[in-house]
Amino acid sequence: MPPEGARGLFRRITALYARLLDILLVITVVGIILPVTMQIFARFVDWIPRYIWTEELARFLLVWMIMIGAMLGIREGTHFNVDLFNNLRGRAKAGMDILSSLFVLGFAYVFIVYGWEFTDTAWFRISELAELPLWTIHIAWPIAGVTWVIFAGERIWDDLQILRHGERADS
């Protein structure tokens, strides 16, 4: 497969992965509504039982919602990004974006290495209230780190093409 084909295949795979993350984000947002609503109404009416597991499920979904949003934010270039020099264009902007992406890769390293250690402590543990396996929440950190590497790498590639070819680089 020629390099252009491999790059195109990689782009299609990352686009599909991003689409899957979009769907999962919607599912977590919609999914968090039920337990939080149950918690709220249970405080004010006597006919809804005060379930304890709703708080834990809401926390699990909140963590995943935040992590998935951060993953998508890296792909879109909106997470960990501060526009200090919003008037930059072309090669100068690409250089600053690469610098920003290197910091993202540093955060990704921390999330992968320490997130895996965090997950490793939870393989055989369950949550106290809902009895959910704890690794299902802890694994969000290393997954986020790996995803950041993939999406930041994609952005770095694009910015390198701009540095190399100027503003008109197509990627």
Pair 24, 15: CB distance under 8 Å = no
pLDDT digits (tens, 9 = 90+) for 67-84: 999 999 999 888 777 666
pLDDT of residue 3: 54
**pLDDT tier at 1 (50, 70, 90 boundaries)?**
very low
DSSP the chain: --HHHHHHHHHHHHHHHHHHHHHHHHHHHHHHHHHHHHHHHHHH-SSS---SHHHHHHHHHHHHHHHHHHHHHHHHT-SS---SSTT--HHHHHHHHHHHHHHHHHHHHHHHHHHHHHHHTSTT-B-TTT--BTHHHHTHHHHHHHHHHHHHHHHHHHHHHHHHH-TT---
pLDDT digits (tens, 9 = 90+) for 3-25: 568 788 999 999 999 999 999 99
